[in-house]
Chains A and B, each alone.
Chain A
Amino acid sequence: AQSVAQPEDQVNVAEGNPLTVKCTYSVSGNPYLFWYVQYPNRGLQFLLKYITGDNLVKGSYGFEAEFNKSQTSFHLKKPSALVSDSALYFCAVGSKLTFGTGTRLQVTL
């Protein structure tokens, strides 16, 4: 069985500072890893994915994620946070998408 863990319910960061949203996974074989963002009362928007290749994946809105096989992690990062980045972020694994519990990102001025 595959699973995803997002250890932080909420991450608070000041605008302009770097942000990291953590994700670890458990899957047999090579993982398909995804990050999605959800704004209130909306569906999910795709940010980025890792299938194979470079461990550093660049995605939408300036986000990137680093795949670390030894640590089974796929943390989401952004060098400089914006207030508009405040939302709920989900890490997911697999072709049918098993989601983590989500991390609420709050960016303040």
Chain B
Amino acid sequence: GAVVSQHPSWVICKSGTSVKIECRSLDFQATTMFWYRQFPKQSLMLMATSNEGSKATYEQGVEKDKFLINHASLTLSTLTVTSAHPEDSSFYICSARTGTGSSPLHFGNGTRLTVT
């Protein structure tokens, strides 16, 4: 149980275009989802907390107009990288929680974004 599906697993786009990444909880409802970014050989950096039916909460230093997050239902959150640039190339990972704050997060398999 507690499967999180993230799509696409990899994407290559041209500079200036936008890319949407989907995160779905397949067998549970997730009121809260989290989006992380991971640079090569580095840890995960929390970008934002996505709450169903409300605006996402962004971490300090994350541009909310560039990284648009929508949590339209209890099983789907999307991250759109707008007007992507090469420096946005990274590994993006979503996660979802099944219960309270002490419950473990379940992670998607990540999306490798390369902006050319």
Contacts and interface: CB of A to CB of B under 8 A. Distances in A.
A49 B104 CA distance: 7
The range of chain A's interface size is 20 to 34
A59 B91 CA distance: 27
Interface stretch (A20-28, A38-46, A75-83): A38-46
Interface of A: 32, 34, 36, 41-46, 49, 51, 90, 95-102
Given A43-B4, A102-B43, A97 B109 contact: no
Interface of B: 4, 6, 34, 42-44, 46, 49, 91, 93, 95, 100-102, 104-110, 112
B43 A99 contact: yes
Chain A: interface secondary structure? loop
A15 to B, nearest CB: 24
B interface secondary structure, majority: strand
A95 B110 contact: no
A46 B43 contact: no
Contact of A97 (B6, B46, B100, B112): B46
Given A44-B105, A97-B46, 18 more contacts: A32-B101, A34-B105, A41-B112, A42-B109, A43-B6, A43-B95, A43-B108, A43-B109, A44-B95, A46-B104, A46-B105, A49-B102, A90-B44, A96-B49, A97-B95, A98-B46, A99-B44, A101-B42
Given A45-B107, A100-B43, A95 B102 contact: yes
Nearest to A91: B43
Nearest to A100: B43
